[in-house]
Chain A
Amino acid sequence: MSVRIEFRLNGRPAAVTVDESLRLLDLLRDELGLRGAKEGCAEGRCGACCVLLDGLPVNACLVLAVQVRGSAVETIEARDESRLQALLRSGATQCGACSPGVAQTVLWIAEHPDVAESFALEDLLAGHLCRCTGYRGIVEGARRTIEAEKA
């Protein structure tokens, strides 16, 4: 069954008619052409499809499109590239398939200093699987991003 939904996408109003079984990830990638979020596992383990839903990181493969009705969705495309320099220079990306998802969470952590202070970065980032870096670059990049944005 098709359902019409309205929501905010990257700060702008959006209205689409979607099948009720469509995943948010497919809506973003296939219907709206926003291909920064990747499908890595389709079951919420790898974090490659991470987007912000009402300001919180979620795996877009586990959210139905109809669930975002009335909500705000932000994808990696809305992020300022200049904020990614610390990740780049720490070696946080190699093959890049996990990187947009990692970047979403890292920027979100940097925007929430209370979270960064209360939890270990390794725990906050454990929802992102990376097969290339061994994670040092990612954790170091997160630390440096937080530092840079504090200043």
Chain B
Amino acid sequence: MDRLEGLSKLAGLERYVGDLLVEGCWWGATVRSPSPRGRIRRIRFRPEVDWSDFAVVDARDIPGANCIRHIEDDQPALALDRVRHVHEPVLLVAHPSRSAVRRAVRAVEIEVDEDDPVLDFRSAPRPAGIQHGTDNVFSRITIEKGDLESAMAEAAYIVEGVYETGAQEHVCLETQGMLANVEDGVVVVRGSMQCPFYVKEAISHALAKSGDEVRVIQTPTGGGFGGKEDYPSMIGVHAALLAQRVGHPVRMIYDRREDMAATPKRHPSRIRHRTGVDANGRLVAQDVDILLDGGAYTTLSPVVVSRAAIHATGPYACTNARVRGRVVLTNSVPCGAFRGFGGPQAHFANERHMDVIAASLGMDPAELRRRNLLRDGDATLTGQIIEDGTDRVALMDRALEIASVPEKRSRHREFNRSHAYLRRGIGMAAVHHGCGFTGDGEDRLDSRVEVAGLADGAIEVRTASTEMGQGATTILTKLAADRLDFDPRRVRIAPPDTARVPDSGPTVASRTAMIVGKLVEDACDDLRRRLGVAPSCDGEALAEALRGWHLAHPRLLPIGEARYRRASAQGWDASRHRGDAYGAYSWATQVAEVEVDLRTGVARVVDFVSVQDVGRVLDRLLATGQVEGGVAQSLGWALLEQVRFDRGAMINPSLTEYAVPSCRDVPPIRVEFVESPYAGGGQGARGLGEIPADGPAPAIANAIADATGSRPDALPLTAERLAAVIELVPRGGLDGAGTPT
């Protein structure tokens, strides 16, 4: 089956929120804080703009609670008297003309009595810097297992390391955008988003509206990657406030600079590892300390640090461990969800550290991993017994085989001996990713799905799962069609519209194919039951029963329903982070080959292999695309993408100044799947969206370490930064032998 909306996208026919033509629409824009921290002294509206033509909304105009509803209600929709980061929203303005509204934004001056901002998450704040609780810690978590100190004392070796990663901007090709209107007393918001029910909840809360008075409809979404998990609640509230004020539809579409400067980033991290290893290379004691930069408000940070902690010891059997995680406040743009959600930071540190351990022991890095990878029956950090049929050692060995690791290593030795300034190396990472929400999170989501039998003989699948490029529409269509033995052309996916679909949870956490997909199958089964069709009957019998139903009940749709139920065996103690953290895990080994130019510090990835077990692969082309795209994004995070901050503000918010990979930066990526089906997922699927982004950065860094004998322990490894950790060769090469290529 081809991607259902693919041709429409290629042909330029897909209508994103910025493409919708709306009669009488006004443009909305945001006036933002110029200061990282302080009290707003005065807001001056300069007279070159005739302000009587404009609608202006400030914090006092918010009818409900002035906050963006996430985990805590600490982030205002509009700053009232204090600001906590540059680019924090302070005012909204609207006008029928887009250029006029842009002029108006420039004509507002916000004067702030500044306090000293907290800018470096790695240093403890001074008392005057405390802005959250007593210590600026948004959330802390400790996971303990076994007896760490005794095991550490008995270990044959103790290896330590400190690893750092930088912020990353999502760079969805479609920027954030919303269109709001009040229709018959209902606030209707259309826009680019991953989670329509999050946006609905945020608007209800801020505008003091009941659930019936707010309707949120997802428009085709040009990339998400987590960037459209929490921020659409902000811009959705803003657009709704303006629409309510002006009485016309209001559109807010961020340009690239605003989108990059003002929206959440991947959390920067510093992670310390102290590991006890026995004489046979078994990890016997793992002490991990995770510190994340949360930015100015809580947003989703407590869940990000939790996921980072749970993944901190990697896909290895774990007997004695202590993992501590903290996420702290700084006066910079809040960090939020980004593909992997704490996993990539945890895996970067852990997989770099595995190579550092291997080097300390004089052991082959693959062999060290082989001795420690989880076998079925082993327990994870949280005490979850893994018994899912994946042979993680075989999976890793398959990746090494495809990548020809031993042959490459010996060829590289030869090459590196003879070449004046190029160094080649190969590196690997073994990673895992918990699928769906953590612990009892899926119970709390209480996801529901409906499948309706329409009068025209088609089936309508109603979920809140959004298509953002990952292929949800195609996958859910396929799952329903296969389950009902229907032609996929007779399956329709209802638009994610909170007035039309049940809440099947957010489109995040690699949960759509697995959890929502399974619910679609269950709802299909329920529809059969309601139509009185035996499970064994084919699609024709079902179609016949559907015709019969509509003859008998002309105005009543038969609707199959399903609701999430956790497998009874899955136990979780949230207070201690003990037990079954996820219903299933996906597993991967990724191998990168790099070439480093010792004259410049430029590292290029020349080959990449990704082997993963994501359960049953539902569509090979779509699944391969998820892997390739995740690898490319992570390659960018590892080598190219550097968010530069000044006083907590991104000062390179453009695609000229912030480099994302182009097709010249991405090597051929060889993708192979191992398929161990998971009974709790649609057709046996496990999560796929995020695991591809977990391993590339450590694999690339390990390859650079292999090539150069250096310790590239801090991302991004841009040429400038890599040049600081490797020994450069003068341009022109040694003895004049090298010439630029």
Contacts and interface: CB of A to CB of B under 8 A. Distances in A.
A46 B173 contact: yes
A91 B223 contact: no
A67 interface: no
A56 interface: no
A129 B11 contact: no
A18 B350 CA distance: 58
A16 to B, nearest CB: 17
A146 B633 CA distance: 27
Contact of B173 (A35, A48, A135, A136): A48
A92 B8 CA distance: 13
Interface stretch (B32-40, B620-628, B724-732): B620-628
B7 A81 contact: yes
A71 interface: no
A35 B11 CA distance: 11
Contact of B628 (A42, A85, A127, A137): A137
A123 B10 contact: no
Interface stretch (B59-67, B202-210, B543-551, B652-660): B652-660
A125 B256 contact: no
A136 B10 contact: no
Given A41-B655, A94-B470, A134 B629 contact: yes
A92 B625 CA distance: 9
A95 B221 contact: yes
Interface in A8-46: 29, 33, 35-43, 45-46
Nearest to A139: B663
A95 B174 contact: yes
A101 B740 CA distance: 34
Given A35-B19, A129-B173, A131-B172, A95 B621 contact: no
A71 to B, nearest CB: 20
B12 A131 contact: no
B664 A126 contact: yes
Nearest to A21: B99
Contacts of A79: 11
B489 interface: no
B128 interface: no
Interface in A40-66: 40-43, 45-46, 48
B220 interface: yes
Interface in B165-192: 170-174
Q: Chain B binding site: helix, strand, loop or mixed by DSSP?
A: loop
Contacts of B15: 35
B10 A122 contact: no
A43 B260 CA distance: 14
Contacts of B3: 88, 91, 93
Interface in B622-643: 622, 624-625, 627-633
A131 B171 contact: yes
B41 to A, nearest CB: 33
A132 B223 contact: yes
Contacts of A96: 5-6, 8-10, 14, 220, 222, 469
A97 B668 contact: no
A138 interface: yes
Nearest to A36: B12
B663 A126 contact: yes
A45 B257 CA distance: 13
Interface string A105-119: 000000000000000
Nearest to A106: B10
Given A131-B225, A132-B469, A93 B10 contact: yes
A126 B662 contact: yes
A81 B174 CA distance: 22
Nearest to B624: A91
Given A42-B256, A89-B2, A122-B664, A97 B11 contact: no
Contacts of A72: none
Nearest to A136: B628
B506 interface: no
A97 B222 contact: yes
B11 A94 contact: no
B11 A131 contact: no
A102 B171 CA distance: 17
B668 A95 contact: no
Contact of B223 (A36, A131, A138): A131
A65 to B, nearest CB: 14
Given A41-B655, A122-B663, A97 B628 contact: no
B223 A97 contact: yes
B21 interface: yes
B294 interface: no
B310 to A, nearest CB: 27
A73 interface: no
A77 interface: yes
Interface in B223-246: 223-225
Contacts of B630: 134
Given A42-B255, A95-B172, A97-B223, A33 B21 contact: yes
B628 A36 contact: no
A130 B625 CA distance: 12
A79 B470 CA distance: 25
A40 B175 CA distance: 7
Interface string B476-498: 00000000000000000000000
B16 interface: yes
Contacts of A38: 16, 18, 173-174, 222
A39 B655 CA distance: 12
Contacts of B19: 29, 35
Given A96-B9, A136-B669, A43 B174 contact: no
Contact of B468 (A41, A43, A95, A100): A95
B478 to A, nearest CB: 16
B395 interface: no
Nearest to A30: B98
Contacts of A91: 3, 621-622, 624-625
B279 interface: no
A133 interface: yes
A98 B664 CA distance: 17
A94 B663 CA distance: 15
Interface in B495-545: none
B199 to A, nearest CB: 19
Contacts of B223: 94-95, 97, 131-132
Contacts of A135: 628, 632, 661-663, 666
Given A94-B469, A96-B14, A136-B668, A130 B173 contact: yes
6 contacts: A79-B11, A81-B10, A91-B625, A125-B663, A135-B663, A136-B669
Interface of A: 29, 33, 35-43, 45-46, 48, 75-77, 79, 81, 84-85, 87-100, 102-103, 122-123, 125-139
Given A39-B18, A76-B12, A95-B469, 9 more contacts: A35-B19, A43-B654, A95-B468, A96-B469, A97-B223, A129-B660, A130-B663, A131-B171, A136-B666
The 3 A-B pairs of least Cβ separation, nearest first, read A36-B12, A96-B9, A95-B469
